[in-house]
């Protein structure tokens, strides 16, 4: 393959972004107040579990009521998992 000459493009951007010190302060504050914006993996895991749960419950559905119940169960599947884990560790509460 023939190499092409790369030419540097001279681009000058003139933008008034305000006081640079304010931007530095803002970026420091953004680092402190994360507000959970980096937890997309948990949402993706929940979504995959939701889809898997929907497939499971829809295969077992025999009528429209079972479809609705399966959809509602799929929305709260983590609660079933936590309940079963606690039940296996501590037994059924009387």
Q: What is the pLDDT along the chain (94 residues), one digit of tens a residue?
A: 555 555 666 666 666 667 777 777 777 776 665 555 556 777 888 888 889 989 988 998 999 999 999 999 898 888 888 888 888 888 877 6
| Residue 54 is assigned to a structural domain of this protein | yes
Domain housing 69: 40-94
* Structural domain count, the chain: 1
Is residue 24 domain-resident?
no
8 in a structural domain:
no
Is position 91 within any domain? yes
- Is 90 domain-assigned? yes
- Tell me the pTM: 0.48
**Is residue 14 in a domain?**
no
| Tokens read off for 73 | 């169960």
Question: Over the range 42-81, which residues count as b (16 or more CB within 10 Å of their CB) and which as e?
Answer: eeeeeeeebeebbeebeeeeeeeeeeeebeebbeebeeee
Residue 88 located in a structural domain:
yes
Collect all residues with Cβ–Cβ distance below 8 Å to 12 and sequence separation of at least 6: none
């Amino acid at each position: 393959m023939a190499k092409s000459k790369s030419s540097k493009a001279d681009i000058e951007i003139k933008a008034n972004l305000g006081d640079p010190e304010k931007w530095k302060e803002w970026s420091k504050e953004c680092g402190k107040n994360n507000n959970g914006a980096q937890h997309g993996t948990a949402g993706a895991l929940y979504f995959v579990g939701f889809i898997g749960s929907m497939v499971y419950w829809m295969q077992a559905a025999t009528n429209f009521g079972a479809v609705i119940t399966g959809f509602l169960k799929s929305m709260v599947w983590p609660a079933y998992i936590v309940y079963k884990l606690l039940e296996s560790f501590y037994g059924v509460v009387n």
